[in-house]
Amino acid sequence: MNRSIEFLVVGGGLIGLLTAKLLHQSGVDVALVEKGEIGRESSWAGGGIISPLYPWRYPDAVTQLALWGQRRYPKLCDQLASETGIDPEWTQSGLLMPNLSEKEIKVALEWAERYGYPMAQLNSEQIGDIEPHLSHFSSALWMESVAQIRNPRLVQSLKRSLELSGVPLIEGFEVDRIVESNGRVSGVEAGGVLVSAQHVIVCGGAWSGEILKRAGVELSISPVKGQMLLLKSEPDLLKRITLLEGHYLIPRRDGRVLIGSTLEHDGFNKETTDNAKEELLAAMEELAPELNRFEVEMQWSGLRPGSSNQGIPFIGSCGPDGLFINSGHFRNGVVLGYASAQLLVDMALGHEPIINPAPYLAD
């Protein structure tokens, strides 16, 4: 690229793609660089639940981002499907959460009332009516409005949308350093190749902390591995997302069921393990033993961008002038990603922000 662009997005996952798309829609000159293949890290590996798991356990700053995105994802997915021919498969599956303590149920219902979020407590008969193929549970919380996205298809559609819009997408470009001049960023460099930019936005997921170190910025973003399994079952055997003690089942439209997910602190190692497979199959057995008759079609892992910030992502300027961060979303990259991208763009362009940006500021 032989010219200086206005905004350069580093990272081609869901959040980087959304950030680039919203910048382009604002009339800004933008390009995106990705160290590998666009959309093939945690954005591809995750489950695509458009809700934090046990949302009442998170700070209000997480809830604010989640609510903004939940209201707007259906329209975004419709627009992307129409524009690109790739349907992200937004599906309102609902979320069942059985076997919570009475104390936690009370906290959850108070949270739901405070935010006007539909939530109900179900007995065993009602659970059976909603999802007859689950194990017997005496009670559960039910969030009917929770939806899911098939996240590999979402990132494919976003990539195609940017291509159709003429936004430069550079794959295989791993940033070696962030270039500065007189206390301001002037671009990034990889393998001696310089991409000049007036602003740089780091959306590098689990690698964001390593990228920022190259500009002398220390942020507590580190990889947390999650392993998942895929079953090829029958369409409509399961219809509801079900969550038990941090593990979940996500039924897709074509009958496939995702089983997730582990939480492992193992650096940038993405190898899958038999222990994780056994852990996930045990969770499936506890939730829906009828799935035992189906073969495991695939096992994979991804690296989430974990932080010590209670699940609140870092969004905003950091370090030298012109450098921004949009990362640290941990398990909630999909549900928080849309609002995070819009908030970052508002801040970078000096627009009225969609929500108060103070809780997300990196500095």
Structure tokens at 60: 């209000």
Buried-state track 13-33, b at ≥16 Cβ within 10 A, e below 16: bbbbbbbbbbbbeeebbbbbb
pLDDT at 191: 87
Q: In terms of DSSP bridges, do strands 241-244 and 95-98 run parallel, antiparallel, or are they unpaired?
A: parallel
pLDDT at 3 (0 to 100):
72
Is there a contact between 355 and 68 (Cβ–Cβ < 8 Å)? yes
Give the C-alpha separation, 281 to 270, whole Å.
Answer: 19
Output the pLDDT for position 362.
Answer: 81
pLDDT of the residue at 1? 62
pLDDT per residue as tens digits for the range 239-261? 999 999 999 999 999 999 999 99
- Could you say which residues of the chain have pLDDT below 70? 1-2, 363
Q: How many whole angstroms separate alpha carbon 223 and alpha carbon 358?
A: 25
**Could you count the other beta carbons within 10 Å of the beta carbon of residue 180?**
18
Integer Cα distance of 132 and 334 in angstroms = 28
In this prediction, residue 363 carries a pLDDT of 64
| Closest C-alpha to 134, from 194, 188, 186, 94 | 94
Give all domains of the chain, ordered by start, each with its CATH number.
Answer: 5-50+153-220+309-360 (3.50.50.60), 95-144 (no CATH), 222-307 (3.30.9.10)
Residue 214 is predicted with a pLDDT of 87
φ, ψ for residue 181 (rounded to 5)? -150, 120
The predicted structure's pLDDT at residue 316: 97
Q: pLDDT per residue over 100-157, tens digit each?
A: 999 999 999 999 999 999 999 999 999 999 999 999 999 999 999 999 999 999 999 9
Q: What is the pLDDT of residue 309?
A: 87
Burial of 46 (0-12, 13-18, 19+ CB in 10 A): buried
